């Protein structure tokens, strides 16, 4: 990295050279400072430091895709994993001086890859003399100072989370994760770190951790009656003044909450899901917010606090260790304390560096075990199945996902109030390259059908609501007049709608008339051969992303939740294939929907 102003200040401080050399940093000359009342011709005491941040690591240590069994790659050639982040962190520490840096995370750490699944379920860290979680090992080695709790931390239950917490050499923070009975924090709300300056006065940096109120819905099975999760704004308003009164010079919030001010879970909770921007706007006394949860890349974003008029900097580094945020602070000694004079943020791209061999060698054995695990044969398939045509044809491989989901929900509701209702299921084509081969099927093959970390729910829908849902989904097709040629490369993704937001529903039959305008395309919607009654009630097997508002589909987010679990759908599919031993598409494949134009099938 080039030697810039900040590099110079950092290195000078480490070398014991007076920071007076950099008197002009951030706020003009010494003369200008005197005019502000420092007086006596002495330049003010200044110090610069950097807070680095990651978020939504989701179990990524290596730059590896366990589903494709090869190095991770995407269209933008991003890289992933803590081994890459470690190299970036080392570079920043070298440049700024290790003592002038802190490293924090904004949550969603222990779920998301087959590596993290393996150490939660297959060789669990909770076992007697169990292993140390790879994420704890890597983060300890890199030297994290704190990490906020993410909502996915709760997916494997509180015992797994508590064991992970015990294995980390840094605190897991959650000021708004409260014990349900005492309403006291169930985790450390904050940590205060001291940075030594060349002036004999430490800078005290408080890191306040806030997590997502949606945990109460998404992981109800694990946290119900045990923990409650009030809103970020109210808890920040409670803790920030306390941290200031305890002598914090700088307050950084690590928030597992996006910046948009929106919620995907409707009116089920009185709290905002993506509240980081609201926290900055409403709570005085915050200097910077590390944003997580939304899987967005926001290098630098300023929000003006309504009460003080002060600008607060927010930054969200891209998920999975693809980016590292840097908050660069300049502080000045004024009236007996350090005051933030200037703060900015930027991100570094992990694809610009090699993996840190210290991390890859530390966890080489764990990685090898998981690679062997995902390549394990779990059954056989009588025929090959592929998603290549799934965006425009009812394909057996999508039927398989719906079959597994419907069976799982039916079993969960057996013997209960809703056991007699018919179960429908939604699924989407997540990848046009997923395939189940004829012959041996591995964990990797089955998991590849469902690359997202979604979990399964059951909601109650009426026939009328189902029709609305399907009409909304069918917007995905470009309107194509009867008789005109059909080019599949131009047929889908109308208005930029991604494949994963085109749902098909099993358990009913219907046509999608692509010659009609969006909103008037579902024809002949039937259940067991008869037209669907608008007042009929159905159980709808649906993923939690859709159920919590993802894709903005109608009715489902507000529909009554009948059941939910926290096991990833892809792992439910794996378990189903293992239990069956052999998969035969002839047993479940059917044409439940088709594309038509004026009643004539397109294919």
* Strand 600-601, strand 530-531: pairing: unpaired
Give the chain's radius of gyration (CA, Å).
27
CA–CA gap between residue 428 and residue 441 (Å, rounded): 21
**Residues 56/58/62/65 CA torsion (nearest 10 deg):** -120
What confidence tens digit (pLDDT) does each residue in 46-59 have? 999 999 999 999 99
Distance between terminal CA atoms of the chain? 57
What confidence tens digit (pLDDT) does each residue in 284-306 have? 999 999 999 999 999 999 999 99
Q: How confident is the model at residue 521 (pLDDT cuts 50, 70, 90)?
A: very high
Q: Is the pLDDT of residue 412 over 90?
A: yes
Higher pLDDT, 568 or 202: 202
Q: Is the pLDDT of residue 584 over 60?
A: yes
Alpha helices in 308-458 (DSSP H): 357-362, 364-374, 396-413, 443-448
Alpha helices in 23-150 (DSSP H): 30-35, 82-96, 114-117, 134-142
The tokens for 150 are 């993410």
Structural contact between residues 10 and 48, judged by C-beta atoms closer than 8 angstroms: yes
pTM of the model: 0.81
Q: Is the pLDDT of residue 4 over 70?
A: no
Number of other CB atoms surrounding residue 571 within 10 Å: 18
Note the Cα 387 to chain centre separation in Å.
25
Number of other CB atoms surrounding residue 443 within 10 Å: 24
Compute CA distances 199 → 176, 291, 495, whole Å: 36, 32, 58
Residue by residue, DSSP assigns 381-424 as: ESS-EESTTTTTS--HHHHHHHHHHHHHHHHHHTTSTTTTS-EE
What confidence tens digit (pLDDT) does each residue in 198-240 have? 998 999 999 999 999 989 877 877 899 999 999 999 999 999 9
- pLDDT of 46 reads 97
Q: How confident is the model at residue 40 (pLDDT cuts 50, 70, 90)?
A: low
Pick the closest to residue 299 from 321, 281, 316 (CA basis).
316
State phi, psi for 446 to the nearest 5 degrees: -65, -45
DSSP letter at 28 equals: -
Exposed, middle or buried: residue 563 (CB in 10 Å: 0-12, 13-18, 19+)? middle
Q: Is the pLDDT of residue 14 over 70?
A: no
Pick the closest to residue 389 from 603, 551, 574, 599 (CA basis).
603
Q: How confident is the model at residue 31 (pLDDT cuts 50, 70, 90)?
A: very low
What confidence tens digit (pLDDT) does each residue in 453-479 have? 789 999 999 999 999 999 999 999 999
Structural contact between residues 56 and 320, judged by C-beta atoms closer than 8 angstroms: yes
Number of other CB atoms surrounding residue 78 within 10 Å: 20
């Amino acid at each position: 990295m080039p030697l810039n102003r900040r590099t110079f200040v950092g290195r000078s401080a480490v070398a014991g050279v007076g920071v007076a050399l950099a008197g002009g940093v951030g706020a003009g000359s010494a003369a200008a400072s005197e005019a502000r009342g420092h007086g006596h011709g002495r330049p003010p005491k200044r110090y610069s430091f950097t807070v680095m941040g990651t978020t939504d690591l989701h179990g990524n240590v290596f730059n590896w895709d366990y589903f494709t069994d090869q190095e991770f790659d995407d269209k933008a050639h991003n890289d992933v994993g803590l081994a890459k982040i470690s190299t970036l962190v080392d570079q920043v520490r070298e440049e700024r001086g290790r003592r002038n840096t802190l490293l924090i995370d904004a949550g969603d750490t222990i779920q998301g890859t087959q590596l993290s699944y393996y150490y939660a379920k297959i060789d669990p860290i909770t076992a007697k003399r169990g292993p140390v979680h790879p994420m704890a090992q890597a983060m300890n080695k890199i030297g994290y100072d704190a990490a906020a709790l993410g909502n996915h931390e709760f997916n494997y239950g509180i015992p797994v989370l508590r064991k992970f917490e015990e294995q980390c050499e840094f605190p897991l923070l959650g000021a708004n994760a409260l014990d349900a009975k005492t309403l006291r924090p169930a985790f450390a709300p904050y940590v205060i770190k001291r940075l030594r300056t060349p002036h004999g006065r430490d800078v005290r940096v408080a890191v306040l951790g806030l997590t997502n109120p949606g945990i109460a819905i998404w992981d109800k099975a694990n946290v119900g009656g045990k923990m409650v999760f009030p809103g970020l704004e109210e808890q920040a308003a409670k803790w920030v003044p306390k941290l200031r009164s305890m002598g914090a010079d700088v307050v950084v919030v690590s928030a597992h909450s996006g910046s948009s001010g929106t919620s995907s879970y409707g009116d089920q909770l009185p709290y905002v899901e993506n509240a980081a921007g609201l926290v900055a706007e409403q709570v005085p006394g915050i200097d910077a917010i590390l944003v997580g949860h939304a899987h967005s890349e926001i290098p630098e974003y300023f929000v003006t606090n309504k009460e003080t008029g002060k600008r607060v900097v927010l930054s969200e580094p891209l998920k999975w260790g693809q980016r590292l945020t840097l908050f660069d602070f300049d502080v000045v000694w004024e009236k007996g304390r350090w005051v933030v004079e200037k703060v900015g943020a930027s991100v570094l791209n992990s694809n610009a560096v090699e993996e840190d061999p210290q991390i890859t060698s530390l966890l080489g054995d764990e990685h090898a075990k998981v690679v062997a695990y995902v390549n394990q044969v779990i059954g056989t398939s009588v025929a090959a199945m592929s998603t290549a045509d799934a965006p425009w044809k009812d394909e057996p491989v999508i039927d398989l996902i719906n079959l597994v989901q419907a069976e799982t929900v039916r079993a969960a509701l057996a013997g209960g109030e809703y056991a007699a209702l018919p179960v429908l299921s939604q699924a989407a084509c997540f990848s046009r390259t997923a395939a189940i081969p004829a012959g041996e099927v591995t964990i990797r093959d089955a998991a590849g059908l469902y690359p997202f970390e979604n979990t399964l729910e059951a909601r109650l829908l009426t026939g009328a609501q189902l029709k609305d849902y399907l009409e909304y989904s069918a917007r995905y097709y470009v309107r194509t007049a009867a008789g005109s040629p059909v080019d599949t490369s131009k047929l889908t993704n109308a208005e930029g709608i991604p494949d994963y937001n085109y749902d098909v529903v099993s358990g009913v039959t219907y046509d999608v008339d692509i010659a009609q305008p969006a909103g008037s395309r579902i024809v002949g919607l039937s259940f067991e051969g008869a037209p669907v009654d608008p007042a009929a009630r159905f159980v709808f097997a649906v993923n939690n992303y859709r159920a919590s508002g993802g894709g903005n589909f109608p009715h489902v987010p507000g529909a009554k939740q009948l059941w939910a679990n926290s096991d990833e759908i892809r792992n439910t599919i794996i378990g189903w294939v293992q239990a069956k031993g052999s998969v035969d598409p002839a047993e479940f494949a059917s044409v439940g929907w088709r594309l038509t134009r004026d009643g004539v099938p397109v294919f």
